[in-house]
């Protein structure tokens, strides 16, 4: 089954989406499913089964299910303009770890897209983990969801988007004799 979103959030704006997401229907096998022409994001299992054929195309991305590991494509990451991570349920947070690993541990620099049950409340934290594109649920207002990227002005913890914790970023007005990194917290 081929799914397309008319619009996605990319960066901090709503843009037209020219990629489709391929999902396997019941009974379809990853090695025999037909990958249509055009920009298409395929399941990891399809990429693994048809890798040699798909390597010939520049218009193929890959998507991860929450139980799949990012490092399985570490040698192919430079081939993908888009890598997507599926969130089948709002309550399934495993995709955050996949995104973090893709960005920080594997150095993926292309578009990292959240797909599936993606809601406004998740966007800020998704951004912190390395996502820069979001295919929100079709039954929600995408322009309202865009506001989710700006709900907080500061973060305390370090992450992909802000590698230093707040106490390392903020001036505390401490006297020069203080060398304790935690002083002033």
User: How confident is residue 174, by pLDDT bands cut at 50, 70 and 90?
Assistant: low
Which candidate, 29, 73, 81, 84, places its Cα nearest to that of 51?
73
Q: Write the DSSP string, 114-166.
A: EEES--HHHHHHHHHHT--EE---TTS-HHHHHGGGGS-S--SS--SS--S-H
User: How confident is residue 5, by pLDDT bands cut at 50, 70 and 90?
Assistant: confident
Q: Look-up: residue for tokens 């997401």?
A: 21
Q: Which domains does the chain have, with CATH numbers?
A: 2-153 (3.20.20.70), 157-185 (no CATH)
* pTM across the whole model: 0.86
pLDDT in tens, 29-73: 999 999 999 999 999 999 999 999 999 999 999 999 999 999 999
pLDDT in tens, 95-117: 999 999 999 999 999 999 999 99
Q: Is 20 helix (H, G, I), strand (E, B) or coil?
A: strand
- Tell me what pLDDT residue 14 has: 97
User: How confident is residue 172, by pLDDT bands cut at 50, 70 and 90?
Assistant: low
User: How confident is residue 135, by pLDDT bands cut at 50, 70 and 90?
Assistant: very high
């Amino acid at each position: 089954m081929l799914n397309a979103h008319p619009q996605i959030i990319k960066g901090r704006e709503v843009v037209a989406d020219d990629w489709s997401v391929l999902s396997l229907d019941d009974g379809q096998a990853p090695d025999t499913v037909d990958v249509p022409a055009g920009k298409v994001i395929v399941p990891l299992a399809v990429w693994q089964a048809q890798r040699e054929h798909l390597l010939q195309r520049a218009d193929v991305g890959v998507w991860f299910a929450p139980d799949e590991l990012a490092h399985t494509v570490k040698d192919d990451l430079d081939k993908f303009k888009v890598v997507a991570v599926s969130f089948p349920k709002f309550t399934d947070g495993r995709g955050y770890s996949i995104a973090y690993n893709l960005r920080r541990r594997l150095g993926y620099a292309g578009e990292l897209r959240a797909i599936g049950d993606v809601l406004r409340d998740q966007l800020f934290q998704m951004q912190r983990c390395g996502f820069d594109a979001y295919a929100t649920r079709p039954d929600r207002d995408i322009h309202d969801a865009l506001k989710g990227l700006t709900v907080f002005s500061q973060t305390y913890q370090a992450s992909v988007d802000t590698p230093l914790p707040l106490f390392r970023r903020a001036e505390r007005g401490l006297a020069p004799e203080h060398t304790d990194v935690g002083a002033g917290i």
